[in-house]
Amino acid sequence: MDITEFDHHSPIPGTTIFDGKMAMKGYALNKMCYSFNGAAARAQYLADPEAYMEKFGLNDEQKQACRDKDVLAMIAAGGNIYYLAKFAGIYRLDVQDIGAQQTGMTKEEFKEKLRKAGD
């Protein structure tokens, strides 16, 4: 049986369960993002993103998501948020920046949503 034919998880709206299926799909993208733990790798990416993505074997969907800095598209392409956070770090984006981007809010609106969770 192909791994894509069997789903272990019931869907949770707005949530991707990063399981074996996603881990296989996103391996190259996540491996590239993992490399960004090192400052030299980050500089190398910024100097020539296309060459760096090619080196890690990203597919077209992953490359385009990176060019667009589109977090939802990176997740759909198999990206795992813990590694994507290191990609975001290159551009000095924090978790409220990427939260706002994914929910279609301004950063201020997103922070207000977080604050309201405490009411």
Partner 1 sequence: MAKILGGLTTSHIPAVGNAIHNGLFDDPYWKPFFDGYPPIRAWLDEHKPDLAINIYNDHGLGFFLDRMPTFAIGAAHEYRNEDEGWGIPQLPPFPGAPEVSWHIIESMVEQEFDITSCQELPVDHGFVVPMQLFWPGAPNNPDMPRTIPISANTVQHPIPTLKRALDFGKALRRAIQSYPEDLKVVVLGTGGLSHQLDGERAGFINKEFDQYCMEKIVDDPEALTKISRMELVEKAGAQGTEFLMWMMMRGALGDKVVRRHSNYHIPISNTGAGTMLLECVE
User: Does residue 55 interact with partner 1 by CB under 8 A?
Assistant: no
Using CB under 8 A as the binding criterion, the count of chain residues that bind partner 1 stands at: 47
User: Does residue 51 interact with partner 1 by CB under 8 A?
Assistant: no
Distance CA 99, CA 39 (A): 24
User: Does residue 98 interact with partner 1 by CB under 8 A?
Assistant: yes
Give the shortest CB-2-to-partner 1 separation in angstroms: 19
First to last CA, the chain: 48
DSSP string of 22-41? HHHHTHHHHHHHHHTTSHHH
Judged by CB under 8 A, which of 4, 15, 40, 47 binds partner 1?
15
